Structure 1
Amino acid sequence: MTAFARLLFGRRARLRWVHLILGGALAMPYVLVGSVAVGPALGATNLFGSVAVQFASFAVGLPLAAVTSLFPPTRPLEAGVVRWLCGVEEDLLAYGPARTKGEKGRTAAWFTLHLGFGGIVAGMSLAVPPFATVLIVLPVFEGLRDSRLGLPAVFEQSWALPLAPVAGVAMLVGLAGCAAGCGVLLARWAPALLGPSPEERVAAAEARAADLAVRNRLARELHDSVGHALSAVMLQASAARRLLDSDREFVREALAAIEDTSRRTVGELDAVLGVLRDGDAPGTAPAPTLADDLDGLLRRTRAGGLRVRAAVTADPASVPPLISREAYRIVQEGLSNALRHAGDRVTVAVTIDVADDHLRITVENPLGEAGAPRPGGGHGLRGIADRARLLGGAARAGAAGGTWCLHVRLPLKGSV
């Protein structure tokens, strides 16, 4: 019984009832316009004096409503009201105006149904409650039994008076059931009539894919930049602590490298996070490239005590900016992996050259004591592979003969 009462009079049912009443209010101007044509045709001068005239005016007005529903704001406004009052999930409804013929046809069908059901329920909501109230109190007030009130003749009989309140309550319940049923039907039809078309779903999927691509790129930038900086700073601080009493000059260089690394990383972090702040302009710190900061990257890495042997035969200034930026991050991540897994007592060999119109990057270092990646690792190598694949290149990494080798090939032709 409680579930039945909630179905008819619960919050969701009441909101859908309001939605139908709004549809009836929207239908009234169309009914009045329809009465202009129907009234003279049927010889009626009073719209509200004849039920037949009202229904005829209603039937003429609904096609007019279907035509006006073709205005662009109709679908987004109707979808917004349906989300709020009918409880339909947002993802099932479209946000923009109808553009194609199919979308416009479905919008017209929805608007017609909304105003049609709404006009009927709104009319019943105006007429039924007063009539039902009269029936409920009829046994108590004898004056209401006057035939001029339009009550059924049966209720003028004394034996039928006890049944009048039952009939009144039944009418109210029937009104609530009709409103609830119409609300359920409209809520069920809304996704089909106001939902996004296949073209809109494809466009939304493409927009989500583009957004995910941007976020993945930002995640790679944060991982490579901040991860390398933290690894380098940790190594530099550790080396400075060990040599604090024996080599003050090295300690000063390590602290200077920590300061430089931290400053550059904060600038890059601000640039990346600026993209994520709604309404904020992106940060002004430029993305590093081989030409801009390869020497600085190697210098800061060596300042922490890691021995880096670099052989750069490619001219960084001649590498296209996009390739140069991604190559810088790849070298940075290769050095970060060496710092994390091999420690600061090994020599890392970095080779950058050009062969067969490809920029080749190789980073080699002895395996650490464990000889395996740390738990939870692997994101950096996956990021390197993603960078190379997006540029049409390839990357491979693995251990061979006690040495870990990262090798990346990036095409130079066709790059901007």
Structure 2
Amino acid sequence: MRRLRLRWANLLLGGALLMPYFLLATVAMSVAVPDSDPFRHPGRQLAAYALALPLVTATALLLPPVRTLESAAARVLCTAPEAEPVPAPADSWAARRRTAAWFTLHLGLGALVSGASLAIPPAAAVLVTLPLSPGLRKLDWGWYGDTAGAALWTAPAAGAALLAALAAAVWGAGALLDRCAPALLGPTPADRLAAAEARAAALAARDRLARELHDSVGHALSAVALQAGAARTVLDSDPAFVRRALAAIEETARRTTGELDAVLGMLRDGEEPSRAPAGPTLAGLDGLLETTRAGGVPVALTASGPAAEILGTLPVLLSREAYRIVQEGLANALRHAGRVPVAVSLALDGPDRPGGPDGSGGSGRPDDRKLVITVENPALPEDGPRRPRRGGGTGLRGIGERAAALGGSAEAGAYDGRWRLTVRLPLRDNR
């Protein structure tokens, strides 16, 4: 019964919305044919109804918010579980055409059901009460047979049949609207593509924030643990080293707290980050290396060739991502190898050099150059000799994602007893 009531209400709403168009068509017919009176001739009423439907279609084609209004009504009154009406205005002609088809169907069926709902219940009431009311029998109802004979008692059954037919018509028309709602008010292929792009952008933003948190906080925790462990082992024998380690721990905690506040502030404010949050660049690389050295890890930095001159003039995005890659490479070395010597190398591979690592020269165009970042440390025995592999744990996967976002590549693996991370980033201006 609830579903029948909802469908009936939806159809009555359609009939109410059609009334202005019907009246406009009626006035137009009266002006065009002065002697006509549509309200006295059912045929002319049907003609006015037919003239009103094109006006309904034109309204939905010209007014995009029609889809918003109809979708809101369909969400409440249409009972099909698979219905997914789009609440946004129809912003394409494909969406407008589908909305126009729905609007015409809704108002057309609604007008017919509304007219039947006004006419059939009173007629059914008369038929049901006809055998019991002498006053009604005196009137000429045009009912079959003699109003004083046995045929009179068929009138109540006919009245009940009329009501049942009306309920069946409401149910069928409502079912048709329920079935058409997903197809006509649901998302178009363009809507689905836009929704997929929005979901992809949201997931990409979440991934960027996760990488920022992992790289900054993960490296800080690894460095602090290493520094605290080194300080504990020489607490009595080397107070100066302990003081340096504690100062490095303080500086690491302060810097990481600022980065963490920046990321969490974006989440608290409900922003949808289109780019990674601001962070340190290669200009702060010396501080990162000094913090790592304070934990007793020998770190050597090599900037070969023209790279030494351009590191301070790299695009901000590239410089920031390169800093994070070095940071995560150092964190991986600390986590998996401990206090072993780490070599960090920054170099250019491109037309300014005679050849890249594979011996091939650059193409001669400046924007073909690549910044090559290498982080290398002695491999642990359990690493064993194996072929180079891409990706790995969360940290290496994050490095690969950062490199891929800039059009570069990342490789990590054991080479001749040493663990080597190699990342190549194009120097061209990438968004």
Aligned to 1:361: 373
Return the alpha-carbon distance in structure 2 between the equivalents of residues 163 and 219 of structure 1: 77
Q: Find out whether 1:105 has 2:120 as its counterpart.
A: no
Answer whether contact 1:334 1:363 (CA < 8 A) is retained. yes
Change (3 A) 1:68 1:285: closer
**1:258 alignment partner AA:** I
What is the match of residue 356 of structure 2? none
Matched residue type, 1:237: A
TM-superposed deviation, 1:409: 1.6
Matches within 5 A, 1:154-233: 156-157=147-148, 159-160=150-151, 163-233=154-224
Q: Which residue of 2 aligns with 1:4?
A: none
- TM-score normalized by structure 1? 0.83
TM-score (norm 2): 0.81
Residues 172-181 or 187-196, more deviating:
187-196
Q: Are the counterparts in 1 of residues 13 and 110 from structure 2 also a CA contact under 8 Å? A: yes
Q: Distance in 1 between matches of 2:314 and 2:18?
A: 67
Matches within 5 A, 1:377-392: 378-392=393-407
Conserved 8 A contact 2:72-2:87: no
Given that residues 209 and 276 in structure 2 are in contact (C-alpha distance below 8 angstroms), is that contact kept between their aligned partners in structure 1?
no
Match of residue 51 from structure 1: 42
Indicate the SS of the match to 2:139.
helix
**For structure 1, which runs of at least 5 residues remain unmatched after alignment?**
1-8
1:117 aligns with 2:109: yes
The answer as to whether partners of 2:74 and 2:85 remain within 8 angstroms in 1 is no
Amino acid at match of 2:375: V
Deviation at 1:197, TM superposition (A): 3.5
Q: Secondary structure at the match of 2:301?
A: strand
Q: Report the CA distance between 1:115 and its aligned residue.
A: 0.7
Shift of residue 171, structure 1, vs aligned partner: 2.9
Aligned to 1:338: 333
Q: Which runs of 5+ in 2 are unaligned?
A: 351-368, 385-390
Aligned pairs for 1:280-291 (under 5 A) are 286-291=278-283
Q: 1:98 to 1:194 in 2, by over 3 A?
A: farther
What CA distance in whole angstroms lies between the structure 2 residues aligned with 1:393 and 1:37? Answer: 69
Q: What is the CA-CA distance between 1:302 and the residue it aligns to?
A: 2.1
Which stretch shows the higher mean deviation, 125-134 or 17-26? 125-134
Distance 2:5 2:155 in 1: 26
Change (3 A) 1:281 1:123: closer
CA contact (8 A) 1:94 1:196 kept: no
Q: Does the 8 Å CA contact 1:236/1:303 hold for their aligned counterparts?
A: yes
Whole-angstrom distance in 2 between the partners of 1:396 and 1:218: 23
In the alignment, which residue of structure 2 is the partner of 1:347?
Answer: 341
Counterpart amino acid of residue 336 in structure 1: A
Q: CA deviation at 1:134?
A: 4.2
Alpha-carbon deviation of 1:161?
Answer: 5.6
Residues of 2 paired with 1:199 and 1:307: CA distance? 56
Distance in 2 between the 1:194 and 1:326 partners? 44
Percent sequence identity over aligned pairs = 55
Change beyond 3 A, Cα 1:151–1:258: farther
Deviations 1:232-278 (A, max 9, x none): 22323333444444444433333332332222222222323344445
Change over 3 Å in CA distance of 1:327–1:132 after alignment to 2: same
Aligned to 1:96: 89
SS of residue paired to 1:286 = coil
Judge conservation of contact 1:24–1:119 (CA < 8 Å) in 2. Answer: yes
2:414 corresponds to:
399
Q: What is the letter of the counterpart of residue 25 of structure 2?
A: G
Q: Aligned pair 1:318/2:333, yes or no? A: no
**Cα distance between partner residues in 2 of 1:87 and 1:278:** 37
Structure 1 residues 113-122 or 376-385, which shifts more? 376-385
Aligned length: 399
Aligned to 1:146: 137
**Secondary structure of 2:345's aligned partner:** strand
Offset from partner CA, 1:190-214 (integer Å, 9 cap, x none) = 3333334334433443333333333
1: distance between equivalents of 2:285 and 2:236?
A: 31
Q: What is the rounded CA distance, in whole Å, between the counterparts of 2:334 and 2:407 in structure 1?
A: 28
CA distance in 2, matches of 1:173, 1:305: 89
Aligned to 1:62: 53
Task: Give distance in 1, aligned partners of 2:98 and 2:278.
Answer: 49
Instruction: Describe the superposition over 1:215-246 as per-residue Cα deviations: whole angstroms up to 9, x where unpaired.
Output: 32222222212221222223233334444444
DSSP 3-state at the match of 1:363: strand
Q: Secondary structure at the match of 2:383?
A: coil
| Alignment-mate amino acid for residue 396 of structure 2 | L
In the TM superposition, what whole-angstrom CA distance separates every residue of 1:25-59 from its partner, at most 9, and x where no partner exists? 00111111122233563845472x44333322212
Tell me, yes or no, if structure 1 residue 411 matches structure 2 residue 426. Answer: yes
State the Cα distance separating 1:149 from its structure 2 match: 8.0
Say which SS state the counterpart of residue 335 (structure 1) adopts: helix
Whether the 8 Å contact between 1:351 and 1:361 is mirrored in structure 2 is yes
Shift of 1:335: 0.8
CA-based RMSD of the aligned residues comes to: 3.2
Structure 2 counterparts to residues 252-291 of structure 1, below 5 A: 252-277=243-268, 286-291=278-283
Amino acid at match of 1:96: P
